[in-house]
Amino acid sequence: MRSFKAYFKKEILESVRGNKYLILFVGTIFWALMDPLMLKLLPLILKNYLPADLIVLFSTFNRDTAFQTFLNDLFQIGTIIIALTLMGLLSNEVSLKKLVFPYSRGASPAGVVLAKYIHYTITISLFILIAFLTNYFYINRLFTGGMLSIEIALKSSLLYILYYSVLLSILLYFSSLFKRGLIAGISVLVLGYSLSIFNQFETIRVYLPNYLLFKAADIGHIFDNSLIPTVIISFCIIILLVFFSILRMKKIDVA
């Protein structure tokens, strides 16, 4: 608990002074603002250059499809930004020998790992929530039609939060495994993107965390029974990987 508190405060300080809050905030909120506007403007700008039937395609965007576009962009760009910003979570601490003093004064690896995981999960969850609400507000002002409601947006954001909690636990574990943060970051990116391919296969997709993203975009049926195995597996992954990260940090040579 002592180490947890000390490291929680340390992560806050590091995020402020290392501009991590800023990067993560911009990385999530920017697309929430930009996507609806671009969708609205593009047909106007292209009107003079594109055939009319293509323009019709553009103007069929309603609130639902605009929301889905945001979800997709948030996944693609948000994941890169999160992975690259936080890839050094544990690897930097070890390779730069920052743990020599804390460990020699009795810091507990469990406290360190939990503080980091919980701090960044809270941070990212908060930013995702803000991004979803802003996006909902923008879409409502710019588009009509569709069945999007604040309730749907919140449910959808919940699934995104759970997805990024899983991704963060993977990043945490990889970061404890590899000496170089970049390897951890890129592995997480490859894993995150490639698992989305399985959303095409109905039988296995429910067992993979990327199904959360699929269901988040399934407006009208976001929460249904098909999510049960996914949610259970997601929590299992989080608990296991955080546990493995703690084990790894207990055994690793920090000097």
- The residues binding other proteins (CB under 8 A) are 2-3, 5-6, 9-10, 13-14, 17-19, 22-23, 26-27, 29-30, 33-34, 36-37, 40-41, 44, 47-49, 51-52, 81, 84-85, 92, 96-98, 100-108, 138, 141-142, 251, 253-255
Q: Which of 39, 32, 38, 37 is nearest to 60 (CA)?
A: 39
Q: What's the min distance (Å) between Cβ of 182 and other proteins?
A: 9
Q: What's the min distance (Å) between Cβ of 17 and other proteins?
A: 4
Instruction: State which residue, 17 or 221, has the beta carbon closest to other proteins.
Output: 17
Q: What's the min distance (Å) between Cβ of 208 and other proteins?
A: 28
Instruction: State which residue, 36 or 209, has the beta carbon closest to other proteins.
Output: 36
Instruction: State which residue, 28 or 169, has the beta carbon closest to other proteins.
Output: 28
Work out the angle between the directed axes of helices 20-46 and 63-73 (0-180°, nearest 10). 140
Q: What's the min distance (Å) between Cβ of 20 and other proteins?
A: 9
Instruction: State which residue, 21 or 223, has the beta carbon closest to other proteins.
Output: 21
Residues 6+ apart with CB under 8 A from 216: 71, 155, 156, 157, 159, 160, 163, 222
Helix residue spans in the chain (DSSP H)? 2-17, 20-46, 52-59, 63-73, 79-86, 91-95, 100-104, 109-142, 150-177, 181-195, 202-205, 211-216, 227-251
Q: How many CA atoms lie within 13 A of 107 on its CB side?
A: 22
